[in-house]
Amino acid sequence: MRDVARLTGVSQSTVSRVLSGAATAVPIADDTRERVIAAARSLGYRPNPLARGLRGMKTMLLGVIVRDITDPFFAGAIEAVSLEAAARGYNVVLGHAHGRADEAIALWGVLEARHCDAILMLGDMSDQPRLAEDLRGSPVPVVALWEGSKPAGIASVSVDNRAGIRAVLAHLVGLGHRRIGFLAGRRLGDIREREDAYVEFMTDGGGVPDGYLQYASNDPPGGVSGLTAMLELGDPPTAVVASTDVLAMGLLFAAHGRGIHVPEQLSVTGFDDIPLAEFSIPALTTVRMPTREMVAAAVTMLIDDGLDPADPSAWPRPILAPSLVVRASTGPVVARDTANA
């Protein structure tokens, strides 16, 4: 700022007021403001967010902790967060919590040291209790996304997972399917709620047949192993609901490898509607996650509304509705011997 003041011939306090954007009782002429900004730009001046934090000012940094940065769904969510933050003049500090618990704790320390104005959590961190506990005690506001509808001690924006699963199951039943399997990832947050909704729906219709509920890692190989297990059953399902699109991609790949035609011989559905879902072969029937709307609601709570971390009773907990997207991977039941396909 001394260099900018020297170059423009104004006082350092004037430079400070212009560059900070702080309100001032003494008006600053437009031409003076433009000269200061031009000089700062020519000198390569950049505000230091750490120094701003030490002075008690906003750092304009939004901390984002993502459970699994390799998951295509979270890649889209991070993009949505970046756009919402940028629209408010914020930069994003990104951390990856996938891995050992002590690494996640170190991540939280980094975010705290950088004096982020707020923290956004993407994905369920309940299997890392130390990190979750630290975040619950954070002096800055924290909002969780995709932790399920009942995260303990943290403000949240959620999706109605049960409504999404009921919609896709009703769609399959309307096509004549009764033997419907479910492939789930780890029982965390949203995935647990999707599984519970499947079990409730099937119980109302007589129960879940043995082997129809399978668990796998949330990746395409998990979809392959899940379908392999189901096809080994004496009376395999005619449709499989995957808890995520990533798993559904593995199901489609496995069906193709076995010569099973989708949807003529097996219907497959997912959940999330990641960009690749529209371009799989066949295009995937799935439940569309309102990702951008959820991110916008969370960032509004954190930045625009000034969420008070010390007053949990005032935290809103919106639950947004998903929507069913019907594509080519689901069709009517055709009599066949799936096990011998």
Instruction: Specify whether 263 is located in the same domain as 174.
Output: yes
Q: What is the mean pLDDT of the chain?
A: 87
39-66 confidence digits (pLDDT tens) = 888 887 765 544 544 445 688 899 998 9
Same domain, 222 and 303: no
Give the global pTM. Answer: 0.80
Judge whether 98 and 70 are in contact, CB under 8 Å: yes
Residues 96 and 155 placed together within one structural domain of the fold: yes
Q: For 105-117, write each residue's pLDDT tens digit.
A: 545 555 554 578 9
Percent of the chain with pLDDT strictly greater than 70:
87
**334 lies in the same domain as 208:** yes
The string of pLDDT tens digits covering residues 223-279 is 999 999 999 999 999 999 999 999 999 999 999 999 999 999 999 999 999 999 999
Number of domains the chain is built from: 3
Q: Are residues 195 and 279 in the same domain?
A: yes
Domain assignment present for residue 55? The answer is no
Residues 282, 298: one domain? no
State the Cα–Cα distance between residues 28 and 22, nearest whole angstrom.
11
247: in domain: yes
241's tokens:
């609901």
3-state SS class at 6: helix
Domain that holds residue 9: 2-46
| pLDDT tens track for 145-165 | 998 876 667 899 999 999 999
**Do 261 and 336 belong to one domain?**
yes
Specify whether 185 is located in the same domain as 251: yes
Element (H, E) at 89: none
Same-domain pairing of 34 and 93: no
Phi-psi category of residue 317: left, alpha or beta, with phi > 0 → left and psi -120 to 50 → alpha: beta
Check residues 38 and 226 and name the one with the higher pLDDT: 226
Whether residue 83 is contained in a domain is answered as yes
- Check if the beta carbon of residue 35 is closer than 8 Å to that of residue 90: no
For residue 67, give the CATH number of its domain: 3.40.50.2300
Residue with tokens 């799989």: 280
